[in-house]
Amino acid sequence: MSAASAAFDYAQFVLVPQAFNGLVIGVAVILMALGLTIIFGLLDVFNMAHGEFYALGAYLGVTLAARGVSFWLLLGLVPLLLLPAGFVVDRALIQRVFHQKERHMLTMLLTFGLSIVMEDVFKWIYGANTMKPETPLAGGTEILGNFFPTYRLFLLAIGSATIAAVWLVVNRTLFGAMVRAAAFDRHMAASLGVPVRKVYSATFAFGVALAGLSGVLLAPIYTVFPTMGKDFILMAFTAVILGGLGSIRGVVIGGLLLTQIQALSSLYVSPVWGDPLVFGIMVLVLFVRPQGMFAGKLRHV
């Protein structure tokens, strides 16, 4: 076999599927990280419980599916259910410490505590055993000699659509404009009639609803268990930091870059090095360019 055709085979049968897998995981990570970056971008709050809202979405999805709700309905229903949950968490917990001087530290500790409580509540209500909803789209297609499961293609499609929708909402709607205005200058926005506190709570709710949506989407392939909130949180945080806190464009590019690096590196380096590599990148970015690739668009530094 000639070197050229061997190289082509390698590209087709090894690199392409690996890159595709990285892409699917990337879309999942971006969905989670989007909420995180929006919440940080506007509220200046590092939501350490973000992973637990991802888990909450997955658990709600499993519970409702067990009662016969169809998967397609769940996709819309679960984020809707998470909106009031997020709203309440913001009003009841975050707003209480928001106006204090050590806001960053306090909200971090608060949301960290919340994440511990939520994890235990899941264990308490659902038990420690793993659960899994039925895969809504079974089977797959063979393209160019590689097998692509239908559900993953669907994930890619819906993930991309959601990311585009979020970008649209933030940049092209009135709500988005209010959010950006409140991030830019809270007091000015308030004096112009923007209901700033409501906008804060609504934004937090929106952010965690996105996390919940990715929970529902990923549950059929990654299963549901009480500590699942920890699964993607490292990647999500790193994508946010890499892309720049508050930047949507940044988190999308950062997320894609990181997941591709992880997917392709597992070919050449032992897979166990995946997480340390990602973490190392985060540390490097914080040293070299702490504002990330694109300094926050939602919020001025």
Among residues 167 and 279, whose Cβ is nearest to another protein? 279
- State whether residue 126 is helix, strand or coil: helix
Closest approach of another protein to the CB of residue 150, in Å: 9
Closest approach of another protein to the CB of residue 208, in Å: 21
Closest approach of another protein to the CB of residue 279, in Å: 13
Closest approach of another protein to the CB of residue 159, in Å: 15
DSSP 133: P
Closest approach of another protein to the CB of residue 254, in Å: 19
Cβ neighbours of residue 161 under 8 Å, at least 6 residues apart?
none
Among residues 162 and 259, whose Cβ is nearest to another protein? 259
Q: Are 51 and 296 in contact (CB under 8 A)?
A: no
Q: For 227, how many CA atoms within 13 A lie in the half-sphere containing its CB?
A: 2
Given the structure tokens 């965690």, which residue do they identify?
208
- State whether residue 139 is helix, strand or coil: coil
Among residues 160 and 260, whose Cβ is nearest to another protein? 260
Among residues 56 and 166, whose Cβ is nearest to another protein? 56
Among residues 143 and 168, whose Cβ is nearest to another protein? 143
Residue 222: which of 16, 22, 49, 25 has the closest Cα? Answer: 25
Rounded distance between C-alpha atoms, residue 248 and residue 245, angstroms: 9
Rounded to 5°, angle at Cα 55 from 32 and 277: 50
Residue 37: which of 239, 218, 288, 261 has the closest Cα? Answer: 239
- In the complex, the residues that contact another protein under the rule CB under 8 A are 13-14, 17-18, 21, 25, 128-132, 135, 138-140, 147, 149, 151-152, 220-225, 228, 231-232, 263, 266-267, 270-272, 274-275
Closest approach of another protein to the CB of residue 127, in Å: 9
Among residues 140 and 176, whose Cβ is nearest to another protein? 140
